[in-house]
Amino acid sequence: MRVLLQRVKEASVSVDEKTVSSIGPGLLILVCAEHGDTEDDCIYFSSKISKMRVFPDAEGKTNLSLLDVGGAALVVSQFTLAAAWHKGNRPGFSKAADPASAERLYDVFCDALRGDGVPVETGRFGAMMQVHLINDGPFTIWMDSNDR
């Protein structure tokens, strides 16, 4: 599983020019399930992300978590995070999980985040989406379950 976190002041997802979800301060989380990923990966990531200290405290140090600041998560599926780009000029996506498995794991991840106490909004799985965000920092973190 690959996840890209972006700390945001606000973020939203539109489909067909209509906003389908939005959040204020929190995290935009782009999620990609790959072959071999499990529900355990989803639960591990959700727990790690909900408690990760990426928000500034009163002194400006990154000591506060999403839960500490009462932030929300906007979770968007993004199979392109599985891109193999080393050969040729067209990235390949064969590492990405099949759509049915990916959607199931995406749902498990979102449900696990909710279970951790994080308000979660989502994109629309499989849709062509426009993601709008105001990055805060910018503060961006790359996570890969192979690095656990």
Instruction: Note the pLDDT of residue 69.
Output: 97
- Min mean pLDDT across 8-12, 39-43, 142-146 is at 142-146
Q: Would strands 55-56 and 62-64 be described as parallel, antiparallel, or unpaired?
A: antiparallel
Q: What is the mean pLDDT of residues 133-145?
A: 95
Instruction: Note the pLDDT of residue 139.
Output: 94
> Two tokens at 86?
């080393």
Domain ranges of the chain: 2-141
The radius of gyration computed from the CA coordinates of the chain, to the nearest angstrom, equals 15
Q: How far is CA 42 from CA 17, 45, 82, 144, in A?
A: 30, 5, 16, 11
Catalytic residues: 78-80
Give per-residue pLDDT as tens, 115-134: 999 999 999 999 999 999 99
Backbone angles phi, psi at 67, to 5 degrees: -65, -40
Q: What is the mean pLDDT of residues 12-23?
A: 97
Share of the chain above pLDDT 90, in %: 93
At 144 the three-state DSSP class reads strand
Between 146 and 41, the more confident residue is: 41
Instruction: Note the pLDDT of residue 146.
Output: 84
- In the predicted model, is pLDDT for residue 74 greater than 90? yes
- In the predicted model, is pLDDT for residue 148 greater than 90? no
CATH topology of domain 2-141: D-tyrosyl-trna(Tyr) Deacylase; Chain: A; (3.50.80)
Instruction: Note the pLDDT of residue 19.
Output: 97
Give per-residue pLDDT as tens, 75-100: 999 999 999 898 889 999 999 999 99
Residues 100, 113: Cα–Cα separation, whole Å: 20
At 108 the three-state DSSP class reads helix
Residues in Cβ contact with 68 at an 8 Å cutoff, skipping those fewer than 6 apart: 53, 55
